[in-house]
Structure 1
Amino acid sequence: MSSLSQSRVLIAGGGIGGAAAALALARKGASVTLFERSAEFGEVGAGLQIGPHGSRMLESWGLLDTALARGVLPGNLVFRDAVTTEELTRVDLGVDFRARYGGPYFVIHRSDLHSILIEAARDAGAELLTGQTVDDVVTESNRAVLTTADGRTHEADVVLAMDGLKSRLRAKISDDEPVSSGYVAYRGTFPMDEVPAGLGITPGAGSEASGPLTDVVGYIGPGCHFIQYPLRGGTMLNQVAVFESPGFKAGKAEWGGPDELEHAYDHCHPTVQSATDHLWRDRWWPMYDRGPIDNWVDGRMILLGDAAHPPLQYLASGAVMAIEDAKCIADYAEEELALGVPDAWDRTLAAVNAERAPRCNRILTTGRMWGELWHLDGTARIARNELFRSRDTSSYRYTDWLWAYSSDRAPAVAV
């Protein structure tokens, strides 16, 4: 009889999704080897927002308390107009929210979450290799054969292609390319005691300071937005500035550099303008996604994580989608292989594809729309602001689809 404990799984890509998949499958007894092309494990970036759809996954692996100890539980998600700093709406993340969704919304440094998952995957018995670039995966009968750049081959029952936005393995399924949004992101994470007074402070009713920053605050404005929230127990300030690149609009090959940042927020409130002084200027992130695709499977290989569904950041669900993928394939594989049928892995990949593609593709397309909504100007901005102000803040009708989801047979929340 086939079982997951008798299966060998290879994973291409050692980011958050790859580490989560290695953990989820190794915990259930699979023999897992992960290939990461970098010389060592690590995540580039700053803060991550993890909704309750991610918290529940981490809790199922016994990692939520560790993650919360390294992160921050914000009180609210707050949206403000970037031109006036007027509060438009908020989502209370307190007791009722947690009861509704079965988990908290928290923020954590990307490298902290990644290291938690890597350590847990190792402890579960996964083999994690660095300095290994995956060149190709082919299916031979009921086996997947993975080839690395050094010419070595590795056989397994299945390969998970989790090699990111620029996935080379996606080309086996789709000839599409990453799609530029024309927007660029700058980030900065600094100790609170190194930033000027007022930067790590929650704005008051107008633009005046009212107290230490305990919320996730998003200033949304014409052609730009600016996000602030605390990290690491409130000892650090995380900031993200995103704006439409004039260089991209002009058709320049190189666009989004620090010269563009200098004037990107001139039309915004001084509170926002001054905050841009505390961003890294030696690195920036042009924002890309990919169009949705329905098929993620090629023989015994499946695309997961950003290789399958790289989103724009507006719904704060990129990392969580990859974590959901990891739990989904581990759970489905355990269920299918327990039946002892010869095509159990083929059935597993088909079932995961059918379960996950509609969910993730909706996040991709909704994220694009959400970004357009944030960045409206003129009369459209006025109408958007009025819509936000009039929102029933006690209603969950617009968020249940995102945060109540579960890949289990029954939904996480009865809606």
Structure 2
Amino acid sequence: MHVIIVGAGIAGLSLAIALGQSRHQITILDAAHELTELGAGVQMTPQAIRYLFKWGLKDDLLAQSIIPENLHVWDGQAGNLLGSVRIKEMEAQYGAPYIVVHRAVLHAILHRHAVQAGARLLLSSDVIEYDFANGAVQLRNGKRLTADLVVAADGINSLARSQLLGSRDPGSQPTGWAAFRMTAEVSKLKADPVTSNLIDLQSRSSNWWIAPHISCMTYLIKDATMLNIVLAHRDNINTKEFTTEEYNKTVRSIFKDFEPRVQRIFDLSTSKIVNYPVYAVPPLPSWSHESGRFILIGDAAHAMAFYMSMGVSIAVEDAAALATVLDLACPSDTSSNISDKPSMVVDSKLKHALDVYEIVRKPRAEAVQEASLQGGDSSHTSHEAERSVLYEALAHSHEEIIWPLESDAVRGEYVRKCRRTGQRLGPGGITDKGTRDWCYDYDAIGAIEEYYKSSIAEHMFEATNHIDAIRE
């Protein structure tokens, strides 16, 4: 089967690897003149790492990423330790590690493996129009390309999504959050008496200071030579025209009450400060076209807040799930080559595959979107009673228990509020054991296989009757 993937980001390259290794013909289109990935660090969760390892990226990822031993959570103002999550133990619990890696490093690894899997990458290939019914794209340079399936992984401001949904496209929407991002040299932090105890190069632990409405997350990147710093805050400041001096002054003002170690990190950072408002794509009416020749994946379908570090991981889940259902519907072995099949059979199989994908993936992605915002809200709550429950929960974050119990008469109302997605989600996002289990124990491939197998008999019966009716 020939698949065109629009967008050479993490979602698109991950899908190219998975489908290429299954011997499908893959063409990746990207508008950029050269393939570069901007940004700083990303955190990747175990269920996504399982798929990257399965596709053969294990050695490259482990050589160029960091597995923190712990995530320490601190009171932002008082500076006392509230709790620790034992990140190092997640590999034994969930079958793969939790890693932090520079986005450019991850992107380069994915690119290299996509090419090795046989994907053809066409740069300077800006798609300006989609022919959804016929699996075709029109490029700005005048070329028209056609495939059995077009997959748009073109990001949060997706042109494909806007053309697919028209007036029904909600576009990307502000979440009410933003984040200042900066970096600092580890050598300077290690040499300074105020910050030296935060930089344990052996454990490589991450640190998170929380307070009402604001927080400071730090973790090591670039072979532990740089500290990535993410300063979450309410999105109520327009920084588009800010000078360097204005950025520095604003950060200092917002975090003026944070403990001395955080203040010293700011002193020692010499990097440019950038502010990123956090946007999300609300739940869409559909990700696919009725023809079965087009689908959205990744941020184009479900961009989300970063408070559970799941945006990149969900994109990898998408790739694993879509590759699985396409392999089930249209295997690439020569005895069942898609080009040898009647078009009605091909369209029916692809339509069913995309239906299965959407039925399985939409509830998962939308629940994670909601949980990500809940994690941000609960971690930054200013409500005194809620904050008390959060701090109690953090004291149990290193334990193999889900706390507090929903039946807890004192804390139950707040816990039920946190768990409004219907899952066992507690306050504090991934510092909560129930939340981690729900996120990291999920099997995207297994969920697709189970639903596909349960639906295939009914689908084949309906498809056969439909084709016979057309022929008559």
Q: Same fold (TM over 0.5)?
A: yes
Query: Which residue of 1 is the match for residue 444 of structure 2?
Result: 407
Q: Distance in 1 between matches of 2:279 and 2:216?
A: 18
Query: Which residue of 2 is the match for residue 108 of structure 1?
Result: 101
5+ residue gaps in structure 2? 402-432, 450-472
SS of 1:296's partner is coil
Amino acid at match of 1:79: V
Amino acid at match of 1:163: D
Q: Distance in 1 between matches of 2:79 and 2:43?
A: 22
Query: Which residue of 2 is the match for residue 20 of structure 1?
Result: 14
SS of 2:307's partner is helix
Q: How many Å apart are 1:167 and its aligned residue?
A: 0.9
* The one of 147, 152, 168 aligned to 1:156: 147
Change (3 A) 1:282 1:376: closer
1:78 aligns with 2:72: yes
Q: How many Å apart are 1:386 and its aligned residue?
A: 2.5
1:371 aligns with 2:366: no
User: Which has a greater percent of helix?
Assistant: 2
Query: Which residue of 2 is the match for residue 316 of structure 1?
Result: 309
Q: Distance in 2 between matches of 1:188 and 1:240?
A: 7
The 5 Å alignment of 1:284-363 reads 284-298=275-289, 299=291, 300-338=293-331, 341-342=345-346, 343-363=348-368
* CA distances 1:345-367 after superposition (whole Å, capped 9, x unpaired): 11111111112111111111111
Q: Which stretches of structure 1, 4 residues or longer, exceed 6 Å deviation after superposition?
A: 209-213, 252-257
Change (3 A) 1:74 1:124: same
Identity within the alignment, %: 28
Query: Which residue of 2 is the match for residue 206 of structure 1?
Result: none
Query: Which residue of 1 is the match for residue 230 of structure 2?
Result: 240
Q: How many Å apart are 1:279 and its aligned residue?
A: 6.4
Query: Which residue of 2 is the match for residue 387 of structure 1?
Result: 393
Q: How many Å apart are 1:213 and its aligned residue?
A: 6.3
Amino acid at match of 1:393: E
Query: Which residue of 2 is the match for residue 146 of structure 1?
Result: 137
Tell me, yes or no, if the aligned pair for 2:77 and 2:211 is still in contact at 8 Å: yes
Q: Distance in 1 between matches of 2:71 and 2:273?
A: 29
Q: How many Å apart are 1:382 and its aligned residue?
A: 3.3
Change (3 A) 1:157 1:210: closer
The 5 Å alignment of 1:47-126 reads 47-95=41-89, 97-126=90-119
Change (3 A) 1:199 1:329: farther
Larger Rg: 2
Higher relative contact order (CA 8 A, sep 6+): 1
Q: Distance in 2 between matches of 1:210 and 1:122?
A: 37
Tell me, yes or no, if the aligned pair for 1:78 and 1:87 is still in contact at 8 Å: yes
Q: Distance in 2 between matches of 1:144 and 1:54?
A: 29
Query: Which residue of 2 is the match for residue 183 of structure 1?
Result: 177
* CA distances 1:219-246 after superposition (whole Å, capped 9, x unpaired): 1112111111112332222211122244
Tell me, yes or no, if the aligned pair for 1:293 and 1:361 is still in contact at 8 Å: no
Q: How many Å apart are 1:273 and its aligned residue?
A: 2.4
Change (3 A) 1:198 1:127: farther
User: Which has a greater percent of strand?
Assistant: 1
* The one of 220, 234, 237 aligned to 1:230: 220
Change (3 A) 1:130 1:283: farther
Q: Under a length normalisation based on structure 1, what TM-score does the superposition of the two structures give?
A: 0.88
Change (3 A) 1:355 1:266: same
Query: Which residue of 2 is the match for residue 197 of structure 1?
Result: 192
Q: Distance in 1 between matches of 2:390 and 2:121?
A: 47
Q: Distance in 1 between matches of 2:140 and 2:194?
A: 46
Q: Distance in 2 between matches of 1:14 and 1:210?
A: 35
Tell me, yes or no, if the aligned pair for 2:325 and 2:448 is still in contact at 8 Å: no
Change (3 A) 1:49 1:210: closer
